[in-house]
Amino acid sequence: MVPTLGRWIMNQRMIFYKLIGISLAGAFILTSCNAAVTPPGATATIMPSPSPQTPTATATAAPVATDTATPAPTATPAPTAQLTPQANPGMNAYCRKGPGTDYFEVTYLQAGNNYTVVGRDGQGKWWLIQLTPTITCWMGDPTTVTQGPVDQAPLLLAPPLPSSTSSFAETSHCDSVQNTMTVTLTWVSAQGETGYNIYRNGTLITKLGQTAISYTDNAPRMVDLKYQVEPINDYGAAPRQTIKVSGCF
C-alpha cells in the first residue's frame, strides 16, 4: 500500500507543479498584453521619427505689376507712289536751249508725247525735259499739259544770251551807170556774243564772226530794203536791230 500512496503523492505534486507552470505562463501572457494595449483614458505618447533636414526655402515676393498703359501702336500709312513729273506739248512745238523763243531750237516735239521734267523756270511757263539720257532741252507752250509734282522740279537759271547792239546805221550808194547798189551796215559790238547774223528783207544773207562791226551788201536796185543785225552766241540770239534803205530807181 505504501508504494501506492507514494505514487499518488508524486502524482499530486506533478499536478501541482503543472498548475503553477500554467499560472505563471498565463500571468506572463497577460502582462505582455497589458503592455501592448493602452488602457482607456491613457494618453499615448508618439515619438516623432527623425527626418532628414530640408533646407528652408526663402520666399521671394513676386514683382508687383505696374499699371502702366501701353501706347497703342501707331498705324504707319501706306507709302504713296511717287509720280514722275512729266510734261507733254499740247501741239507740235520746238524744244530749245533755254526758256524762251530767243533760244535756238534743239529738236521738234510731237504733241501728246510725255517727257520727264528735270527743271523749271521761275515763272512756271517753261520746263527742262530729259530728251535722251545725255540731252536736255526746254519746252514751253500755252497748251503744254503737266502731270505729277512738276512744281517740285529744281529752279534753274536761264543760259545767258547776248545783248543787242547799241547802234545800227547804214550808208548806201546807187550807181545807175554800173546798174549797182551797195549798202554798208555798221554797228557797235554787243556783249556776250560769239557772232552776228545779217538779214535782208527777213532772209539770212550772211553770218559774221565775233569781231565784226560792219558789212557791205551788193543789194538789188529796184526795191526798198530792210536790214537787220542779230548778235548770237551758243544758246541763242539777242533781239534784232532794224534799219530801212530805199531802193535805187
Q: Measured between alpha carbons, how far is 190 from 212 in angstroms, rounded to an integer?
A: 10
pLDDT at 62: 52
pLDDT at 1: 45
Beta-bridged to residue 227, according to DSSP, are 200, 243
> What number of CA atoms fall less than 13 Å from residue 212's CA on the CB side?
22
* Average predicted confidence (pLDDT) for the chain: 82
pLDDT at 167: 94
Task: Look up cell 517753261; give the residue.
Answer: 126
Query: How do residues 100-119 score in pLDDT, each as one tens digit?
Result: 999 999 999 988 899 999 99
Taking the mean position of all CA atoms in its chain, how far away is CA 89?
29
CA distances from 244 to 30, 95, 171 (A): 168, 33, 11
pLDDT at 6: 65
Laid out side by side, the sheet with 105-109 consists of 105-109, 93-96, 135-139, 127-132, 115-120, 86-88, 145-147
pTM of the model: 0.63
Query: How do residues 134-145 score in pLDDT, each as one tens digit?
Result: 999 999 977 889
Q: List phi, psi (to 5°) of 196.
A: -140, 145
By C-alpha distance, which of 116, 112, 146, 145 is closest to 128? 116
At 95, list the grid cell. Answer: 524744244
Which domains does the chain possess? Answer: 86-152 (2.30.30.40), 168-245 (2.60.40.10)
pLDDT at 70: 63
Task: Look up cell 530801212; give the residue.
Answer: 244
pLDDT at position 166 over 60: yes
Q: List phi, psi (to 5°) of 170.
A: -140, 150
SS3 241: strand
Q: Measured between alpha carbons, how far is 78 from 58 in angstroms, rounded to an integer?
A: 54
pLDDT at position 206 over 70: yes
Laid out side by side, the sheet with 195-200 consists of 203-209, 195-200, 225-232, 241-245
pLDDT at position 30 over 90: no
Query: How do residues 68-97 score in pLDDT, each as one tens digit?
Result: 566 666 666 665 556 899 999 988 999 999
The DSSP H or E segment spanning 14 is helix 2-36
